[in-house]
Structure 1
Amino acid sequence: MKTIKGPAIFLAQFIRGEAPFNTLDGLAKWAADKGFVGVQMPSNVGHIFDLDKAAISQIYCDEVAGKLAEHGLVISELSTHLQGQCLAVHPAYESLFDGFAPTHVHGNSAARTQWATEQLKLAAQASRRLKLNASVTFSGALAWPYMYPWPQRPNGLVELAFAELAKRWKPILDIYQENGVDLCYEIHPGEDLHDGLSFERFLDAVGQHERCHMLYDPSHFVLQQLNYLDFIDIYHERIRMFHVKDAEFNPTGKCGVYGGYAPWLERAGRFRSVGDGQVDFTAIFSKLAQYDYSGWAVLEWECCLKDSETGAREGAEFIKRHIIPTAKRAFDDFAASAVDAVALRKLIGIAE
C-alpha cells in the first residue's frame, strides 16, 4: 500500500496584493512556516506562476521548482480551475465569467473558449516539464441552469449539452495523454460535473478516456447531501486528487440545500475550516489508504467564520495527524511466514 503525500495547500485563496502573498517566494516561505510540504499552484496569476513560459521553458520550470525547494516545498499539481470554467459557459453567465478571462476576449464567447482551450493545453505541457502526473480543472457548465427541472427540460437537452462538453474536452484530454498527465475534474456544484452520475455521463461522452479523472472534495458532497464515503468505494479508481475541505449541513424550517439566496453565514450548508465541520476525515483517509491512493492531501481553505491564517496552520497539523503511514506487512503475519506448499497441504489433510 502507498502512503498519501502531504500536507499541501491550494494557494488560490491566499494570493493577494500585500506581502507575503504577492510573490511566489513570499507565499513559499509562508506555506513552509505553516508546516506544508507541497503547494497546488494556480496557473492564472502570471506574476506568481507564468503558464505560458512554463509550457515552453524547462529553464523556467527548473527555476520555479528550485525556488520552492529552497523552502522545502514541491508543486503537488497545477490548477486550471478558471480556464476550465471558461471553456464552457452558459449564456446566462457570459458577463460574470468574462472576469476570469483576459480583456481581449470579453464579450466574445468563441474567443474565450479558444483562449481557455489553449490555456488548458499549455498546462499539460507545463505539468510534464515539472514532472507532475496530474492537473486539476473545472468542467464548465452548459446544462447547469436546467439542473432543477422546472419548467421540464426538453427531451435531448442534457444529451446535447454533454455531447458539446465532450466535443470541447476530448481534444484537450488527448493532449494530456500525449504529455502523460491525468486531467482531474473537481466534482463541484455549479459545474456540469457535480456528482457521480454527471461524471459518468461525461466519461461515457469522452469514450472512457484514459486521462479523464476527478478531484475528490467531500465538502461539496455534504452540501449536496451525497454519501461521500460511498463515493470513494464507487469511484476510487478515478480519484486522483483530494481537497481536504470541511463543511456542515444544518437544515432548518426556513433553509435547506438551496440556501435561500442567503449569505454564507446564514445558509444551512456552509464551508468550514478543516476540523470544524461534519466531514468524517478519519474514515476518508482510511478509505483512500485502503484503495492505495498515492496522491496528495491538499488543504483548500474556505470558511465564513475562521481567520485564514489560523485555518492554514491548523489545516497543516490536521492533515499530518490524519495521513496513515501504511503497513509494509499484514498485522497478523507475526511470524512473517513464507508460503510452504507442503505444509499447506498437510494443514487441510491433502496427501502428497
Structure 2
Amino acid sequence: MKTLKGPGIFLSQFIDRQAPFNSLEGMAQWASALGYKALQIPCNHPAIFDVEQAAESQAWCDEVTGMLAKYGLVISELSTHLEGQLIAVHPAHDEAFDGFAPAEVRGNSAKRTAWATGMLKKAAAASAKLGLSAHATFSGSLAWPYLYPWPPHNPQLFSEAFAELARRWLPVLDEFDRHGVDLCYEIHPGEDLHDGVTFERFLAEVNQHPRCNILFDPSHLLLQHIDYLSFIDIYHPRIKAFHVKDAEYQPNGRSGVYGGYQPWINRAGRFRSPGDGQIDFNSIFSKLAQYDYDGWAVLEWECCLKESETGAREGAEFIQRHIIPVAGRAFDDFAAREDQKASVRAQLGLTRGDCDD
C-alpha cells in the first residue's frame, strides 16, 4: 500500500489583489506557514502563474519549482477548470461564460472553444515540464440545460451531446497522453460529467482513454445523494486527484437538491469547511489508502459560513490528521513462519502419502 500525500491547497479561492494573495511567492510563503506541502495552481491568473510561458520554457518552470522549494512546497497539480468549461458551452450559457475567455474570442463560440483547447494543450506541456503526473479540469457542458427535461427525455439529444463532447476532448486527451499526464475531470453539477453514470458514458465515447480520469470531490456527490464511499469502490482505478471539501444536506419542507435559486447559506445542501459538514473523511482516507491512491489530498475551501483564512489554517491540520501512514507489513506477521508446509498439512489432517509433490 501507499501513503497519500498532503496537505495541499487549491489557490483559486484565495487569490486577491492584496498581498500576500497577489503573487505566487506571497501565497507560497503564506501556505507554507500554515503547514501545507503543495499548491494546486489555477492557470487563469497569468500574474500568479503563466501557463503559456511554462509550456514553452523549462528554465521558467525550474525557476518556479526552485522558488517553491524555498518554502518546502511543490506543485500538486495545475488546474484549468475555467478553460475546460469553455471547451463545451451550451448557447444558453454563452453570455455567462464569455467572461472567462479573453476579449478577442468573446461572442464567437468556435473561437472560444479553439482558444480553450489550445490552453488545455499548453497545460499538458507545462505539467510535463514541471514533473507533474495529474491535471485538474472541468468537462464543460452541452447537455446540462436538459438535466431534468421537459419536453420528455430525448435519447438522441443526449447521444449527440456526449458524442460531440468526446470529439472536442479526444485531441486534448491525446496531448496529455503524449506528455504522460492524467487529465482529471472534477465530477461536478453544472458539468456534463456530474456523476458516475455520465463519467462512464463519456469514457465509452473516448474509447476508454487511459488519460481520462477523475478528480474525486465528495462534496458534490453528497449533495446529489450519491454514496461517495461506494463511488471510490467503483471508480478507484480512475481517481487520480482528490479535493478535500465538506458539505451538508439538511432536508426541509421548502427546497431540495436544486436549491430553489437561493444563496448558498439558505440552501438545503451547502458547502462547509472540512470537519464542519457531514462527510465521513475517516472512511474516505481509509478507502483511498486501501486502494493505493498515492496522489495529493488538496483542500478546496468553499464555505458559506466560515472565514477563509480560518478555513485554510484548519484545513491543513484536518488533512494532516486524516492521512494514514500505511503499514509496511501485516500486523500479524509476527506469527508467520518461513516454511509452514509440514504444519499446514498436519492441520489439514494430511499425511505424506495422501499427496506427493
TM-score (norm 1): 0.98
1:199-256 Cα deviation digits (max 9, x unpaired): 0000000000011000000000111111111111111111111100000000210011
- Is 2:234 the partner of 1:234? yes
1:149 Cα deviation (Å)? 1.7
Instruction: Give distance in 1, aligned partners of 2:339 and 2:297.
Output: 37
Partner of 1:212: 212
**Other structure's SS at 2:8 match:** strand
Partner of 2:287: 287
Paired residue type of 2:77: E
Partner of 2:315: 315
Paired residue type of 1:44: N
Partner of 2:102: 102
Where do 1:140-219 residues align within 5 Å? 140-219=140-219
Where do 1:54-93 residues align within 5 Å? 54-93=54-93
Partner of 2:135: 135
Partner of 2:326: 326
1:33-88 Cα deviation digits (max 9, x unpaired): 11100010111110111100111110000000011101000000110101100000
Instruction: Give distance in 1, aligned partners of 2:320 and 2:123.
Output: 29
1:350 Cα deviation (Å)? 3.3
Q: Percentage identity across aligned positions?
A: 66
Instruction: Give distance in 1, aligned partners of 2:85 and 2:148.
Output: 20
Instruction: Give distance in 2, aligned partners of 1:14 and 1:44.
Output: 13
- Is 2:2 the partner of 1:2? yes
Partner of 2:265: 265
1:94 Cα deviation (Å)? 0.4
1:348 Cα deviation (Å)? 2.4
Q: Tell which structure's C-alpha radius of gyration is larger.
A: 2
Instruction: Give distance in 1, aligned partners of 2:79 and 2:350.
Output: 59
Unaligned ranges ≥5, structure 1: none
Check 1:117–1:259 CA distance in 2 against 1; reply closer, same or farther (3 A cut).
same
Partner of 1:120: 120
Instruction: Give distance in 2, aligned partners of 1:54 and 1:253.
Output: 51
Return 240-249 or 334-343, whichever deviates more. Answer: 334-343
1:76-121 Cα deviation digits (max 9, x unpaired): 0110101100000000010111111111000000000000001001
Instruction: Give distance in 1, aligned partners of 2:46 and 2:335.
Output: 57
Check 1:342–1:10 CA distance in 2 against 1; reply closer, same or farther (3 A cut).
same
Paired residue type of 2:199: F
Aligned residues: 352
1:163-208 Cα deviation digits (max 9, x unpaired): 0000000111011111111000000000000000000000000000
Partner of 2:355: none
Instruction: Give distance in 2, aligned partners of 1:225 and 1:267.
Output: 15
1:339 Cα deviation (Å)? 4.6
Paired residue type of 1:289: A
TM-score (norm 2): 0.97
**Other structure's SS at 1:13 match:** coil
Unaligned ranges ≥5, structure 2: 353-357
Check 1:339–1:19 CA distance in 2 against 1; reply closer, same or farther (3 A cut).
farther
Return 337-346 or 264-273, whichever deviates more. Answer: 337-346
1:340 Cα deviation (Å)? 3.9
Partner of 1:16: 16
**Other structure's SS at 2:235 match:** helix
Partner of 1:255: 255
Instruction: Give distance in 1, aligned partners of 2:272 and 2:242.
Output: 16
**Other structure's SS at 1:159 match:** helix
- Is 2:252 the partner of 1:244? no
**Other structure's SS at 1:9 match:** strand
Q: CA RMSD in A?
A: 1.0
